[in-house]
Amino acid sequence: MAIRVVHYLNQFFGQIGGEEKADTKPMAKEGPVGPGTALNNLLGEEAEVVGTVICGDSYFNENLEEARTKVLELIKGFQPNVLVAGPAFNAGRYGTACGTVCSLVKERLGIPVLTGMYPENPGVDMFKRDVIILKTKDSAAGMREALPQMARLILKLAKGEELGVPEEEGYIPRGIRKNYFADKRGSERAVETLIKKLRGEEFKTEYPMPDFDRVEPQPPVEDVSRAKIALVTSGGIVPKGNPDSIEASSASKYAKYDISGVDDLTPDEYETAHGGYDPTYANEDPDRVLPIDVMRQLEKEGVIGKLHDYYYVTVGNGTSVANAKKYAQEFAKELVKDGVQAVILTST
């Protein structure tokens, strides 16, 4: 009997629609859908995608408990032997959903699970210890490359075969180290590696260290009372109605808004788009997250020279590091061009 595979997809890859359908509630369809069709062909006669469960990214992340419960129920209904989710590439909300579904199914149903993500997807750090995550490219352009690898891993996991090391199998390292017998003792390998390094030759460490970003601090502003200061926030404070549709989680964009002449952020005109914290107090008084009122007071008292006429905003909830860097690089150029000398960053 063929291995029964269930595929989890978001609204886009589930062929429901784009961002306008991100609030789609969990649903199930018989057989493969979208990329699942190609995956099903790659699995051959050994396995079959018997069903597909689809949920909108926004709905899943904003209604987590309800979505988890319903998605698990739909998956269970197909009586799967293995679950595959995505791949999500660098889509943060999708990656978080895929990781959550895989972790839940692994825990509750006790079957093998697999997903795929770009290494900088926030879902990787959240779930790599518990879930096998195939390393993919950053966009759907890598689908053709990812699916054959997913098919291969699905079959190995379903058959209970032991996976090789991440470099060989193509999945993201999980922080698990296993003993093995090497041809040379450790001291000899260490000396050989050192010699290669000293000679400037290519070498590969056996103990890779985490890659932390180090940013040199800028010198202090000499005279704050003459400085133009801008506000930037990841707390999601936007004009009422969220005109630029910044996502509540894993934001794919940032926005710039004019606050010239604005002395106070009122709940009638501003709100938070952030989905990662209780919005009650931010919506009651948006200045709690973006302190326009305090900055205007400091401006009037001469403590600062001027508050910049624009502020920049995105949502930090699940937003990938790569996207955050890209946003900052873009609007930092504008801030410098506008003569801003300092920035106050506010979060939640």
Shared domain for 153 and 230, answered yes or no, is no
Q: How many residues does the chain have?
A: 348
Give dist(CA 104, CA 101) in Å, integer.
Answer: 5
Identify the pLDDT of residue 304: 96
Shared domain for 158 and 22, answered yes or no, is yes
The string of pLDDT tens digits covering residues 299-320 is 999 999 999 999 999 998 777 7
CB atoms within 10 A of CB 34: 18
Shared domain for 233 and 102, answered yes or no, is no
Shared domain for 150 and 235, answered yes or no, is no
Does residue 174 sit within a domain? Answer: no
Shared domain for 136 and 274, answered yes or no, is no
Shared domain for 164 and 229, answered yes or no, is no
Domain CATH number, residue 137: 3.40.50.280
Identify residue 217 by its one-letter amino acid code. P
Q: What is the SS3 assignment for the chain?
A: CCEEEEEEECCCCCCCCCHHHCCCCCEEEECCCCHHHHHHHHHCCCEEEEEEEECCHHHHHHCHHHHHHHHHHHHHHCCCCEEEEEEEECCHHHHHHHHHHHHHHHHHHCCCEEEEECCCCHHHHHHCCCCEEEECCCCHHHHHHHHHHHHHHHHHHHCCCCCCCHHHHCECCCCCCCCCCCCCCHHHHHHHHHHHHHCCCCCCCCCCCCCCCCCCCCCCCCCHHHCEEEEEECECEEECCCCCCCCCCCCCCCEEEECCCCCCCCCCCEEECCCCCCCHHHHHCHHHCCCHHHHHHHHHHCCCCEECCEEEECECCCCCHHHHHHHHHHHHHHHHHCCCCEEEEECC
Identify the pLDDT of residue 347: 87
Does residue 33 sit within a domain? Answer: yes
The string of pLDDT tens digits covering residues 326-348 is 899 899 999 999 999 999 999 88
Shared domain for 11 and 133, answered yes or no, is yes
Give dist(CA 303, CA 284) in Å, integer.
Answer: 27
Shared domain for 161 and 258, answered yes or no, is no
Shared domain for 16 and 146, answered yes or no, is yes
pLDDT along the chain (348 residues), means of 10: 94 93 95 96 95 95 92 96 95 92 96 94 87 93 95 94 87 79 89 93 80 78 95 96 89 93 96 88 96 97 96 86 84 95 92
Identify the pLDDT of residue 72: 96
Q: What is the SS3 assignment for 276-319?
A: CCCCHHHHHCHHHCCCHHHHHHHHHHCCCCEECCEEEECECCCC
Number of separate domains in the chain: 2
Shared domain for 164 and 236, answered yes or no, is no
Does residue 219 sit within a domain? Answer: no
Range of the domain at 18: 3-169
Rg of the chain in Å (alpha carbons): 24
Find how far residue 106's CA is from the centre of its chain: 21
Identify the pLDDT of residue 211: 64
- The pTM of the full predicted model, rounded to 2 decimals, is 0.64
Does residue 209 sit within a domain? Answer: no
Contacts of 300 (CB under 8 A, 6+ apart): none
Contacts of 126 (CB under 8 A, 6+ apart): 96, 99
Does residue 211 sit within a domain? Answer: no
Does residue 188 sit within a domain? Answer: no
Shared domain for 43 and 165, answered yes or no, is yes
Identify the pLDDT of residue 210: 63
Does residue 198 sit within a domain? Answer: no
Shared domain for 238 and 160, answered yes or no, is no
Contacts of 133 (CB under 8 A, 6+ apart): 99, 114, 115, 116, 117, 123, 124, 127, 171, 172
Does residue 271 sit within a domain? Answer: yes
The answer to whether 314 touches 273, Cβ cutoff 8 Å, is no
Q: Could you tell me which residues are beta bridge partners of residue 301?
A: none
Bond prior to 112 in cis (omega within 30° of 0):
no
CB atoms within 10 A of CB 255: 20
